[in-house]
Structure 1
């Protein structure tokens, strides 16, 4: 188990596809076991809720604590969802949030980002960006504008950026460091670095190897992991 400190944390991000594995079986317990196996202090999830109706959670709340050492950050706006626009955050119980901002994002599809300030002195931005590059650029520019209005602190963005290119598409985040832990999509034969980490110069983020998944993959994405150090910028 990871012991969270004030300066050293393990982060992870995972698009769980609402619990639908590559075998086309929807199995939330399998998803939770995969999340637990990441051994992370904070995990951002994408597609944590179903898309229709009241957007009920794909991971029943009463099972999260049973199968993981994590608890949901209260980012949902109703009692049915785990996340907001399907974006959810799980964290160790000793990592409390001090502020939450929900950011509606521009674009053709309804999308949103979540900004959470943690009691250990850093800001996490959890994202699931659109399928069109022009929308993603507008979404990143909007997120950056919102962050610029907040107090200055170490900031990490992570999630499914839906960007296939390793050379373009992140221009609105100039000045930030964009990292990839490796190819994550599709999980059976990964070709694209869709899941990324982005950080400011007030902290150091080191990508960790893509976790090995045994058996049928719990999602069409692989999870990513990284080590966050808050003792000094890069």
Structure 2
């Protein structure tokens, strides 16, 4: 098994030029060669949430969408979406409700590839450190309650600038952090807001931040990616 998972805050497909261009987001995922994508800010924020990635474009790039949307027009749960393609097969997905003052959430998806199943958790946490700590505790508890017990890979925009923040400490008690460079802002990355945490049983073959010219233009975050290898 070799599976490449990307996590990407797509900023509602609005790039550095202020234009909403969904095609750029999907082209960036193609550059990465992602088999699975955990997206943040994949829907409009207010009113009836609507996907910013048109269904015909997703189909053209080979993506299947996990059924997480709150309505027929939405792609995800509070903007968190899961896409799979190629040899990856979605076997289970669920939303995770997080305590928050503003709309926040996380999602869970089990993906089968070859003889292996991987549990993916995608999240976009609060700007407030107090709420981030509560949200990570709720997320860890929800993952522990989920059926079955495949190894987990947790990725997303955790909105934490400090290395020793309580939210990150909570995650590090459960999973090992995969060290990644800064990913925000995309034009001149200074903050490690986008992070990844892996179960000890997972063979993380490689990981990085995708920093091409297209990625710097497509969103205000650069995507991160992790490649998992197995037998």
* TM-score scaled by length of structure 2: 0.91
Q: Is the 8 A contact 2:177 2:197 kept in 1?
A: yes
Residue 68 of structure 2 corresponds to residue 75 of structure 1: yes
How many residues end up aligned between the 2 structures?
224
Is the alpha carbon distance of 1:93 and 1:72 closer, same or farther for their aligned partners in structure 2, counting shifts above 3 Å? farther
Q: Which runs of 5+ in 2 are unaligned?
A: none
Residue 9 of structure 2 corresponds to residue 15 of structure 1: yes
What secondary structure sits across from 1:122 in the alignment? strand
Q: Which runs of 5+ in 1 are unaligned?
A: 1-6
Q: Deviations over 1:147-203 (max 9, x none)?
A: 112332210111111111123331222131112321100011100000010111121
Q: Which moved more, 1:207-216 or 1:16-25?
A: 207-216
CA RMSD of aligned residues (A): 1.6
Is the alpha carbon distance of 1:83 and 1:175 closer, same or farther for their aligned partners in structure 2, counting shifts above 3 Å? closer
1:207 Cα deviation after fit: 4.4
What secondary structure sits across from 2:26 in the alignment? helix
Match of 1:157?
154
Corresponding residue to 2:41 among 47, 67, 72: 47
What secondary structure sits across from 2:123 in the alignment? strand
Structure with the largest fraction of helix: 2
Match of 2:29?
35
Match of 2:225?
225
1:93 Cα deviation after fit: 4.5
What secondary structure sits across from 2:217 in the alignment? coil
Q: Distance in 2 between matches of 1:175 and 1:57?
A: 32
* TM-score scaled by length of structure 1: 0.90
Q: Distance in 2 between matches of 1:90 and 1:23?
A: 26
Q: Is the 8 A contact 1:11 1:43 kept in 2?
A: yes
Q: Deviations over 1:26-58 (max 9, x none)?
A: 111122211221111111111000011111110
Q: Distance in 2 between matches of 1:180 and 1:59?
A: 30
Q: Deviations over 1:129-157 (max 9, x none)?
A: 11111111111111111111233221011
Q: Deviations over 1:198-223 (max 9, x none)?
A: 11112122443322322561100001
Q: Which moved more, 1:204-213 or 1:74-83?
A: 204-213
Q: Distance in 2 between matches of 1:134 and 1:177?
A: 22
Corresponding residue to 1:118 among 107, 111, 114: 111
